[in-house]
Structure 1
Amino acid sequence: MSQGLARAASIAGHPLPVLSLTLLALARHEGADPSGLVGIGAGLAVFAAVVLGYSWWRVRQGHWRHVDASQAAERQHLNRFLLGLLLAAAAVAALAGLPLLALRLALAGLLVLVALLLARWCKPSLHLAFAVYAAALLAIAWPAAAITMLAFAAVLAWSRLRLARHAPRDLVAGFWAGALAGVLARMVPLLPGWQG
Protein backbone atom coordinates (compact mmCIF):
# COMPACT_ATOMS: atom_id res chain seq x y z
CA MET A 1 0.00 0.00 0.00
CA SER A 2 2.71 2.52 0.90
CA GLN A 3 4.54 1.69 -2.35
CA GLY A 4 1.40 2.60 -4.31
CA LEU A 5 1.01 5.86 -2.39
CA ALA A 6 4.65 6.69 -3.02
CA ARG A 7 4.20 6.09 -6.76
CA ALA A 8 1.05 8.23 -6.83
CA ALA A 9 2.82 11.08 -5.02
CA SER A 10 5.80 10.79 -7.35
CA ILE A 11 3.59 10.98 -10.45
CA ALA A 12 1.51 13.87 -9.06
CA GLY A 13 4.68 15.73 -8.13
CA HIS A 14 6.46 15.29 -11.45
CA PRO A 15 8.30 18.52 -12.30
CA LEU A 16 6.51 19.07 -15.63
CA PRO A 17 2.95 19.47 -14.30
CA VAL A 18 4.13 21.15 -11.08
CA LEU A 19 6.02 23.83 -13.00
CA SER A 20 3.40 24.21 -15.73
CA LEU A 21 0.43 24.58 -13.39
CA THR A 22 2.32 26.98 -11.13
CA LEU A 23 3.39 29.23 -14.00
CA LEU A 24 -0.10 29.21 -15.49
CA ALA A 25 -1.73 30.08 -12.15
CA LEU A 26 0.70 32.97 -11.63
CA ALA A 27 0.12 34.30 -15.15
CA ARG A 28 -3.61 34.32 -14.44
CA HIS A 29 -3.09 36.01 -11.08
CA GLU A 30 -0.82 38.63 -12.65
CA GLY A 31 -3.52 39.64 -15.12
CA ALA A 32 -2.77 37.78 -18.33
CA ASP A 33 -5.75 38.17 -20.65
CA PRO A 34 -7.66 35.02 -21.68
CA SER A 35 -5.89 34.73 -25.04
CA GLY A 36 -2.54 35.19 -23.30
CA LEU A 37 -3.41 32.43 -20.84
CA VAL A 38 -4.35 30.15 -23.71
CA GLY A 39 -1.03 30.92 -25.38
CA ILE A 40 0.96 30.30 -22.21
CA GLY A 41 -0.97 27.11 -21.51
CA ALA A 42 -0.47 25.90 -25.06
CA GLY A 43 3.25 26.70 -24.87
CA LEU A 44 3.62 24.81 -21.61
CA ALA A 45 1.66 21.86 -23.03
CA VAL A 46 3.93 21.79 -26.09
CA PHE A 47 6.95 21.93 -23.79
CA ALA A 48 5.69 18.93 -21.79
CA ALA A 49 4.81 17.03 -24.96
CA VAL A 50 8.30 17.61 -26.38
CA VAL A 51 9.93 16.31 -23.18
CA LEU A 52 7.68 13.26 -23.02
CA GLY A 53 8.03 12.61 -26.76
CA TYR A 54 11.80 12.87 -26.55
CA SER A 55 11.92 10.46 -23.60
CA TRP A 56 9.65 8.00 -25.41
CA TRP A 57 11.81 8.27 -28.56
CA ARG A 58 15.00 7.55 -26.56
CA VAL A 59 13.37 4.38 -25.19
CA ARG A 60 12.13 3.32 -28.64
CA GLN A 61 15.63 3.79 -30.05
CA GLY A 62 17.02 1.51 -27.33
CA HIS A 63 19.11 4.25 -25.71
CA TRP A 64 17.14 4.29 -22.45
CA ARG A 65 15.50 1.52 -20.45
CA HIS A 66 12.53 3.60 -19.27
CA VAL A 67 11.05 7.05 -19.95
CA ASP A 68 11.91 8.27 -16.45
CA ALA A 69 15.65 8.06 -17.31
CA SER A 70 16.69 6.39 -14.07
CA GLN A 71 20.22 5.40 -15.08
CA ALA A 72 22.94 7.99 -14.48
CA ALA A 73 23.87 8.37 -18.17
CA GLU A 74 20.20 8.60 -19.17
CA ARG A 75 19.55 11.21 -16.50
CA GLN A 76 22.53 13.31 -17.59
CA HIS A 77 21.35 13.17 -21.20
CA LEU A 78 17.77 14.10 -20.24
CA ASN A 79 18.95 16.95 -18.01
CA ARG A 80 21.09 18.43 -20.79
CA PHE A 81 18.06 18.23 -23.10
CA LEU A 82 15.81 19.82 -20.44
CA LEU A 83 18.29 22.62 -19.77
CA GLY A 84 18.40 23.56 -23.45
CA LEU A 85 14.64 23.35 -23.76
CA LEU A 86 14.00 25.47 -20.65
CA LEU A 87 16.44 28.14 -21.81
CA ALA A 88 14.82 28.14 -25.26
CA ALA A 89 11.38 28.48 -23.65
CA ALA A 90 12.69 31.37 -21.52
CA ALA A 91 13.98 33.08 -24.67
CA VAL A 92 10.61 32.63 -26.40
CA ALA A 93 8.83 34.09 -23.36
CA ALA A 94 11.22 37.05 -23.31
CA LEU A 95 10.65 37.69 -27.03
CA ALA A 96 6.89 37.49 -26.42
CA GLY A 97 7.17 40.30 -23.87
CA LEU A 98 6.69 38.08 -20.82
CA PRO A 99 9.74 38.89 -18.67
CA LEU A 100 8.47 37.28 -15.46
CA LEU A 101 7.64 34.04 -17.27
CA ALA A 102 11.06 34.17 -18.95
CA LEU A 103 12.79 34.63 -15.59
CA ARG A 104 10.82 31.79 -14.00
CA LEU A 105 11.61 29.42 -16.87
CA ALA A 106 15.30 30.39 -16.78
CA LEU A 107 15.38 29.68 -13.04
CA ALA A 108 13.79 26.30 -13.69
CA GLY A 109 16.73 25.78 -16.04
CA LEU A 110 19.01 26.71 -13.14
CA LEU A 111 17.55 23.80 -11.17
CA VAL A 112 18.46 21.42 -13.96
CA LEU A 113 21.93 22.98 -14.27
CA VAL A 114 22.51 22.42 -10.55
CA ALA A 115 21.54 18.76 -11.01
CA LEU A 116 24.04 18.47 -13.86
CA LEU A 117 26.82 20.15 -11.89
CA LEU A 118 26.28 18.06 -8.76
CA ALA A 119 25.87 14.74 -10.59
CA ARG A 120 29.36 13.57 -9.65
CA TRP A 121 28.57 13.83 -5.92
CA CYS A 122 24.84 13.23 -5.68
CA LYS A 123 21.61 12.95 -7.65
CA PRO A 124 19.63 16.05 -6.64
CA SER A 125 15.91 15.34 -6.56
CA LEU A 126 14.34 17.48 -9.25
CA HIS A 127 10.91 16.42 -7.99
CA LEU A 128 11.71 18.08 -4.66
CA ALA A 129 13.56 21.01 -6.23
CA PHE A 130 10.62 21.90 -8.47
CA ALA A 131 8.10 21.48 -5.64
CA VAL A 132 10.07 23.85 -3.37
CA TYR A 133 10.53 26.28 -6.27
CA ALA A 134 6.78 26.12 -6.97
CA ALA A 135 6.07 26.83 -3.29
CA ALA A 136 8.25 29.94 -3.44
CA LEU A 137 6.49 31.12 -6.60
CA LEU A 138 3.04 30.42 -5.18
CA ALA A 139 3.91 32.46 -2.08
CA ILE A 140 3.89 35.53 -4.32
CA ALA A 141 0.11 35.34 -4.63
CA TRP A 142 -1.16 32.67 -2.26
CA PRO A 143 0.77 32.02 0.97
CA ALA A 144 -1.65 29.21 1.94
CA ALA A 145 -1.01 27.47 -1.39
CA ALA A 146 2.73 27.80 -0.77
CA ILE A 147 2.37 26.10 2.61
CA THR A 148 0.30 23.35 1.01
CA MET A 149 2.97 22.88 -1.66
CA LEU A 150 5.68 22.65 1.01
CA ALA A 151 3.64 19.98 2.80
CA PHE A 152 3.33 18.16 -0.52
CA ALA A 153 7.10 18.54 -0.98
CA ALA A 154 7.55 16.63 2.29
CA VAL A 155 5.33 13.86 0.91
CA LEU A 156 7.38 13.90 -2.30
CA ALA A 157 10.60 13.58 -0.30
CA TRP A 158 9.15 10.53 1.48
CA SER A 159 8.04 9.04 -1.84
CA ARG A 160 11.46 9.45 -3.44
CA LEU A 161 13.05 7.64 -0.48
CA ARG A 162 10.34 4.96 -0.38
CA LEU A 163 10.77 4.25 -4.09
CA ALA A 164 14.57 4.16 -3.61
CA ARG A 165 15.02 6.87 -6.25
CA HIS A 166 17.13 9.08 -4.00
CA ALA A 167 19.30 9.11 -0.90
CA PRO A 168 18.75 11.72 1.83
CA ARG A 169 21.61 13.91 0.53
CA ASP A 170 19.88 14.02 -2.87
CA LEU A 171 16.78 15.40 -1.20
CA VAL A 172 18.78 18.01 0.70
CA ALA A 173 20.44 19.11 -2.55
CA GLY A 174 17.08 19.27 -4.32
CA PHE A 175 15.51 21.24 -1.48
CA TRP A 176 18.27 23.86 -1.43
CA ALA A 177 18.36 24.16 -5.22
CA GLY A 178 14.60 24.81 -5.25
CA ALA A 179 14.91 27.29 -2.38
CA LEU A 180 17.73 29.17 -4.18
CA ALA A 181 15.70 29.41 -7.38
CA GLY A 182 12.71 30.60 -5.36
CA VAL A 183 14.75 33.32 -3.64
CA LEU A 184 16.12 34.48 -6.99
CA ALA A 185 12.60 34.54 -8.46
CA ARG A 186 11.56 36.91 -5.69
CA MET A 187 14.75 39.04 -5.66
CA VAL A 188 15.58 39.59 -9.35
CA PRO A 189 12.43 41.66 -10.11
CA LEU A 190 13.39 43.97 -7.22
CA LEU A 191 16.80 44.79 -8.69
CA PRO A 192 17.36 48.27 -10.13
CA GLY A 193 17.01 48.15 -13.88
CA TRP A 194 14.69 45.13 -13.94
CA GLN A 195 12.58 45.53 -17.04
CA GLY A 196 9.55 43.50 -15.90
Structure 2
Amino acid sequence: MLNRSPREPGAAPTTAGRAFARWVSIGLHPFAVFIALTLVSVRVLAPQALGHALIGVSAAVLACWAFVLQRRRAGHWSTVDASKASERPVLYAVLLAILAICWWWMRGQAAPLAQGIVAVAAMLVAAAVLNRWIKLSLHMASLAFAAVSLLALWRVAGIAAICALPLLAWARLRMARHTPAEVIGGTVLGAVFALALRVWAG
Protein backbone atom coordinates (compact mmCIF):
# COMPACT_ATOMS: atom_id res chain seq x y z
CA MET A 1 0.00 0.00 0.00
CA LEU A 2 2.79 2.41 0.86
CA ASN A 3 4.61 1.67 -2.40
CA ARG A 4 1.72 2.38 -4.73
CA SER A 5 2.19 4.86 -7.54
CA PRO A 6 1.45 8.49 -6.65
CA ARG A 7 -2.03 9.55 -7.57
CA GLU A 8 -3.04 12.86 -9.10
CA PRO A 9 -3.09 15.33 -6.19
CA GLY A 10 -1.89 12.72 -3.67
CA ALA A 11 1.82 12.57 -4.47
CA ALA A 12 2.95 15.64 -2.51
CA PRO A 13 0.98 14.80 0.66
CA THR A 14 2.39 11.26 0.52
CA THR A 15 5.96 12.58 0.48
CA ALA A 16 5.21 15.15 3.15
CA GLY A 17 3.48 12.53 5.28
CA ARG A 18 6.48 10.21 5.16
CA ALA A 19 8.83 13.07 5.99
CA PHE A 20 6.73 14.05 9.00
CA ALA A 21 6.54 10.42 10.12
CA ARG A 22 10.32 10.21 9.90
CA TRP A 23 10.77 13.28 12.11
CA VAL A 24 8.29 11.91 14.62
CA SER A 25 10.26 8.66 14.73
CA ILE A 26 13.50 10.57 15.24
CA GLY A 27 12.08 12.84 17.93
CA LEU A 28 10.57 9.89 19.80
CA HIS A 29 13.44 7.51 19.13
CA PRO A 30 14.12 5.08 22.01
CA PHE A 31 17.46 6.76 22.67
CA ALA A 32 15.81 10.18 23.06
CA VAL A 33 12.99 8.74 25.15
CA PHE A 34 15.33 6.96 27.56
CA ILE A 35 17.58 10.00 27.89
CA ALA A 36 14.55 12.05 28.92
CA LEU A 37 13.31 9.32 31.27
CA THR A 38 16.76 9.01 32.87
CA LEU A 39 17.01 12.76 33.45
CA VAL A 40 13.57 12.95 35.05
CA SER A 41 14.22 9.83 37.15
CA VAL A 42 17.54 11.03 38.48
CA ARG A 43 16.17 14.50 39.27
CA VAL A 44 13.37 12.94 41.31
CA LEU A 45 15.10 9.90 42.82
CA ALA A 46 18.80 10.80 43.04
CA PRO A 47 19.42 14.50 42.26
CA GLN A 48 22.92 14.35 43.72
CA ALA A 49 23.91 11.90 40.95
CA LEU A 50 22.76 14.01 37.98
CA GLY A 51 26.26 14.48 36.57
CA HIS A 52 27.11 10.83 37.08
CA ALA A 53 23.91 9.74 35.32
CA LEU A 54 24.46 12.17 32.44
CA ILE A 55 27.89 10.72 31.77
CA GLY A 56 26.53 7.18 31.87
CA VAL A 57 23.53 7.71 29.62
CA SER A 58 25.50 9.84 27.13
CA ALA A 59 28.20 7.19 26.81
CA ALA A 60 25.56 4.47 26.40
CA VAL A 61 23.70 6.33 23.66
CA LEU A 62 26.92 7.17 21.80
CA ALA A 63 28.01 3.53 21.94
CA CYS A 64 24.60 2.39 20.66
CA TRP A 65 24.61 4.90 17.80
CA ALA A 66 28.14 3.96 16.81
CA PHE A 67 27.10 0.33 16.57
CA VAL A 68 23.88 1.11 14.68
CA LEU A 69 25.65 3.33 12.14
CA GLN A 70 28.41 0.78 11.63
CA ARG A 71 25.88 -1.97 10.88
CA ARG A 72 23.99 0.26 8.46
CA ARG A 73 27.04 1.60 6.63
CA ALA A 74 28.55 -1.87 6.36
CA GLY A 75 25.34 -3.01 4.66
CA HIS A 76 24.39 -5.49 7.37
CA TRP A 77 21.10 -3.70 8.06
CA SER A 78 18.50 -2.45 5.60
CA THR A 79 17.69 0.58 7.83
CA VAL A 80 19.08 2.13 11.02
CA ASP A 81 16.07 0.63 12.82
CA ALA A 82 17.14 -2.97 12.11
CA SER A 83 13.81 -3.34 10.32
CA LYS A 84 14.14 -7.05 9.52
CA ALA A 85 13.59 -9.64 12.24
CA SER A 86 16.84 -11.36 11.22
CA GLU A 87 18.75 -8.15 12.04
CA ARG A 88 17.41 -7.92 15.58
CA PRO A 89 19.32 -10.64 17.55
CA VAL A 90 22.66 -8.84 17.38
CA LEU A 91 20.93 -5.55 18.25
CA TYR A 92 19.40 -7.07 21.37
CA ALA A 93 22.73 -8.59 22.39
CA VAL A 94 24.56 -5.27 22.10
CA LEU A 95 21.83 -3.32 23.88
CA LEU A 96 21.83 -5.80 26.76
CA ALA A 97 25.62 -5.60 27.06
CA ILE A 98 25.46 -1.80 27.18
CA LEU A 99 22.67 -1.91 29.77
CA ALA A 100 24.81 -4.21 31.92
CA ILE A 101 27.59 -1.62 31.84
CA CYS A 102 25.07 1.13 32.66
CA TRP A 103 23.81 -0.87 35.63
CA TRP A 104 27.39 -1.24 36.91
CA TRP A 105 28.01 2.50 36.43
CA MET A 106 24.76 3.59 38.10
CA ARG A 107 24.73 1.08 40.96
CA GLY A 108 26.63 3.41 43.30
CA GLN A 109 25.71 7.09 43.10
CA ALA A 110 22.52 6.52 41.11
CA ALA A 111 21.44 3.26 42.70
CA PRO A 112 17.67 4.07 42.53
CA LEU A 113 17.97 3.87 38.73
CA ALA A 114 19.41 0.35 38.86
CA GLN A 115 15.96 -1.25 39.16
CA GLY A 116 14.81 0.67 36.10
CA ILE A 117 17.80 -0.56 34.11
CA VAL A 118 17.02 -4.15 35.12
CA ALA A 119 13.39 -3.69 34.03
CA VAL A 120 14.44 -2.31 30.64
CA ALA A 121 16.87 -5.22 30.21
CA ALA A 122 14.10 -7.70 31.04
CA MET A 123 11.84 -5.99 28.50
CA LEU A 124 14.53 -6.38 25.82
CA VAL A 125 15.02 -10.06 26.72
CA ALA A 126 11.28 -10.61 26.27
CA ALA A 127 11.36 -8.78 22.93
CA ALA A 128 14.34 -10.88 21.83
CA VAL A 129 12.55 -14.13 22.69
CA LEU A 130 9.37 -13.02 20.94
CA ASN A 131 11.37 -11.90 17.89
CA ARG A 132 11.15 -15.46 16.59
CA TRP A 133 7.44 -14.87 15.98
CA ILE A 134 6.94 -11.10 15.93
CA LYS A 135 9.26 -8.11 15.47
CA LEU A 136 7.91 -5.85 18.21
CA SER A 137 8.32 -2.10 17.86
CA LEU A 138 11.03 -0.89 20.21
CA HIS A 139 9.94 2.69 19.52
CA MET A 140 6.49 1.91 20.92
CA ALA A 141 7.83 -0.24 23.75
CA SER A 142 10.22 2.52 24.86
CA LEU A 143 7.61 5.28 24.81
CA ALA A 144 5.00 3.12 26.58
CA PHE A 145 7.57 2.16 29.24
CA ALA A 146 8.50 5.81 29.73
CA ALA A 147 4.87 6.95 29.81
CA VAL A 148 3.87 4.54 32.57
CA SER A 149 7.06 5.21 34.52
CA LEU A 150 6.68 8.99 34.26
CA LEU A 151 3.16 8.90 35.67
CA ALA A 152 4.75 8.11 39.03
CA LEU A 153 7.57 10.65 38.68
CA TRP A 154 6.12 13.62 36.79
CA ARG A 155 2.45 13.14 35.96
CA VAL A 156 2.26 15.87 33.30
CA ALA A 157 5.15 14.34 31.38
CA GLY A 158 3.58 10.90 31.72
CA ILE A 159 0.28 12.12 30.29
CA ALA A 160 2.12 13.88 27.45
CA ALA A 161 3.95 10.64 26.63
CA ILE A 162 0.68 8.70 26.61
CA CYS A 163 -0.85 11.27 24.26
CA ALA A 164 2.17 10.89 21.94
CA LEU A 165 1.70 7.12 21.60
CA PRO A 166 -0.94 7.28 18.81
CA LEU A 167 1.22 9.74 16.82
CA LEU A 168 4.26 7.49 17.10
CA ALA A 169 2.18 4.45 16.16
CA TRP A 170 0.99 6.27 13.04
CA ALA A 171 4.57 7.22 12.18
CA ARG A 172 5.89 3.67 12.47
CA LEU A 173 3.06 2.38 10.30
CA ARG A 174 3.40 5.25 7.82
CA MET A 175 7.08 4.45 7.35
CA ALA A 176 6.20 0.76 6.89
CA ARG A 177 8.61 -0.20 9.67
CA HIS A 178 6.00 -2.31 11.48
CA THR A 179 2.62 -3.96 11.16
CA PRO A 180 -0.30 -2.95 13.42
CA ALA A 181 0.27 -6.11 15.50
CA GLU A 182 3.93 -5.19 16.02
CA VAL A 183 3.02 -1.66 17.07
CA ILE A 184 0.33 -2.81 19.51
CA GLY A 185 2.54 -5.59 20.81
CA GLY A 186 5.41 -3.19 21.44
CA THR A 187 3.12 -0.84 23.33
CA VAL A 188 1.79 -3.63 25.53
CA LEU A 189 5.31 -4.92 26.18
CA GLY A 190 6.57 -1.53 27.36
CA ALA A 191 3.53 -0.84 29.54
CA VAL A 192 3.62 -4.28 31.18
CA PHE A 193 7.30 -4.03 32.16
CA ALA A 194 6.87 -0.47 33.41
CA LEU A 195 3.96 -1.59 35.60
CA ALA A 196 6.05 -4.51 36.85
CA LEU A 197 8.80 -2.05 37.75
CA ARG A 198 6.36 0.10 39.72
CA VAL A 199 5.17 -2.95 41.67
CA TRP A 200 8.75 -4.09 42.28
CA ALA A 201 9.97 -0.66 43.35
CA GLY A 202 6.93 -0.22 45.60
TM-score by length of 1: 0.88
**CA separation in 1, counterparts of 2:78 and 2:106?**
33
Shift of 1:164: 0.7
Secondary structure of 2:142 counterpart: helix
Q: What are the Cα deviations for residues 48-73 of structure 1, in whole angstroms up to 9, with x where unaligned? A: 00001112223344433443322322
1:109 aligned onto 2:117: no
Partner of 1:26: 41
- Cα offsets for 1:143-166 (capped at 9, x unmatched): 121111011111111111111111
Give, in whole Å, the separation in 2 of the partners of 1:145 and 1:88. Answer: 28
1:177, distance to aligned residue in structure 2 (A): 0.9
Report the counterpart of residue 87 of structure 2 in structure 1. 74
The 2-side partners of 1:170 and 1:63 are apart by 22
Specify which of 17, 24, 32 is matched with residue 32 of structure 2.
17
Q: Which has the larger radius of gyration?
A: 2
Q: Distance in 1 between matches of 2:191 and 2:111?
A: 21
Deviations 1:115-165 (A, max 9, x none): 111112111111011101101111112212111101111111111111111
Q: 1:69-148 to 2 correspondence within 5 Å?
A: 69-94=82-107, 96-148=108-160
Aligned residue in 2 for 1:193: none
**CA displacement at 1:97 relative to structure 2:** 4.4
Which residue of structure 1 aligns with residue 71 of structure 2? 58
Residue 45 of structure 1 corresponds to 58
Conserved? CA contact 1:111–1:126, under 8 Å: no
Deviation, 1:32, is 1.2
Kept in 2: contact 1:124–1:173 (CA 8 A)? yes
User: Please, which of 143, 147, 158 is the counterpart of residue 170 of structure 2?
Assistant: 158
The question of whether the paired residues in 1 share the 8 Å contact of 2:35 and 2:57 is answered with yes
Q: Which residue of 1 aligns with 2:200?
A: 188
Amino acid at match of 2:47: A
Distance in 1 separating the partners of 2:143 and 2:81: 18
What count of residue pairs does the alignment treat as equivalent? 187
Which amino acid is 2:158 matched to? A
